[in-house]
Amino acid sequence: MELFGPLAGEPLSWPEVALGVAESVVSGKVQEGVLFCWTGTGVCIAANKVPGIRAALCVDAETARGARKWDHANLLALSLRLTSQAVAKEILDAWFSTPFSEEEGQTVARVTAIERKYKGG
């Protein structure tokens, strides 16, 4: 586990934290990332700007399962405002226990093709 941002004692803004986590995921330094911000939306948007990141904002365990299984999401975004400790545990348990369904490989490849089309633009 690697901590980023205020938890690691660094005074970083949420876009910088999202970038650091996303870069760690795409470089292979870590397998996946979890980000928190007040709504979860900002860090999700910022992380998804990094090619190779498939960040998902999840508000419940079923959404987390679907993001992992069907979307091959590699970064989880959570809302500090909406997510209780009990719900966060359910989401994290679902996230870490759900593998990607290889049957969805072609669909994820289509998303990657969209990313390539607009990369650098």
3-state DSSP call for residue 13? coil
- Catalytic residue annotation: 37
In 3D space, the residue among 69, 70, 21 whose CA is nearest the CA of residue 48 turns out to be 21
Structure-block tokens of residue 75: 């970064």
In 3D space, the residue among 61, 39, 60, 43 whose CA is nearest the CA of residue 4 turns out to be 43
Q: How are strands ordered across the β-sheet holding 33-37?
A: 33-37, 75-79, 55-57
**CA atoms of 111 and 118, how far apart (whole Å):** 11
